[in-house]
Amino acid sequence: MTSDKPINELELETFIEIILDVYGDNPLYTKDYLRNLAETDPLNLRLLAGAATTAAEGGSSADGGAEEAMERALGAQPPVVSSTTTDGIRVTDVLGMQSLPSGAGGGIPYTVGDFGNELAAMSPEEQNRLQQALYLEGYYGNISDISEIADPTRFNNALLGALKHGVSAFGGVAKTAAGMEAVPLLRGRFSDFSSEEFEAAKQALLKRTTPATKSLAELKEIIDEVATSKARRGLTTDETQTVIQALQAAAAQNAASPLNEAFSYERAAGEAVVDVIGPAEAESVGVQDFFDRYVKQIFS
């Protein structure tokens, strides 16, 4: 039975040698990737090494074959670089071309799998800057609070969109990108990323989603309109003051919320008026409204 116990250095060197010897044409399998796999998922590395050994001997793997072992190993990667994504992106798809050391000439293909390795090695701070760059490029779509860029699902979807564009730009018919220009990294496509530009975008989002402050006169006008439909009467001075306080508290709470959802003074006023006049009066008004619409429909 294949073990998931830690892999010692001698085992690791042996595994890396046989895997690269058999699967060396797959750009996913680099020494860095295999060493990372040994730390994060030793069982999968052993499966892969076993499949490589069996393939080298010309046999078939008792664990389900080389293909199954490779799929298991790929499964250890972050979701964005699974063997085939929902958008049809493969780990072997080429995003760009890395330059060789000075004077060597040529280049090395940079694949989606390479991107996955680099993403997995990023510090939280580096990932946050990548999230910011993706937001500036529009890959998050419409969000209501800047904290949403760190949401794992939203981050993954943003990366998938950027990777899809990168593969198309570098390897598509038009081939609009060269080198690392299409790779969604700060050393690639986002090399001109600016923290100041992100802060400006962040403030613009906050301004767009924070409700504008209403004056007392404006609040009273909204309350009078709502009271006409909800209570069919004007509110008393005390009732009006209570609704105003409720509105101001609701607006302040919404602005302080991490969700920062769109705020409607009219909707909040309607809820506050119903609370003030009581459910019995509000219900009777609702029944009367229904009856009036029914009579109007019958006799129109």
Q: Are residues 185 and 273 in the same domain?
A: no
**How confident is residue 71, by pLDDT bands cut at 50, 70 and 90?**
very low
Per-residue model confidence as pLDDT tens digits over 165-183 = 888 888 765 566 778 888 9
Q: Is this structure's pTM higher than 0.85? A: no
Tokens representing 207 are 């301004």
89 within a domain of the structure (yes/no): no
Beta bridge partners of 90: 84
Do residues 201 and 226 share a domain?
no
Domain carrying residue 195: 94-207
Is residue 85 included in any domain, yes or no? no
Highest mean pLDDT among 19-33, 61-75, 213-227, 273-287: 213-227
Tally of domains in the chain: 3
Domain-located, residue 2: no
Counting every residue written for the chain, the total comes to 300
Domain stop point among 46, 76, 106:
76
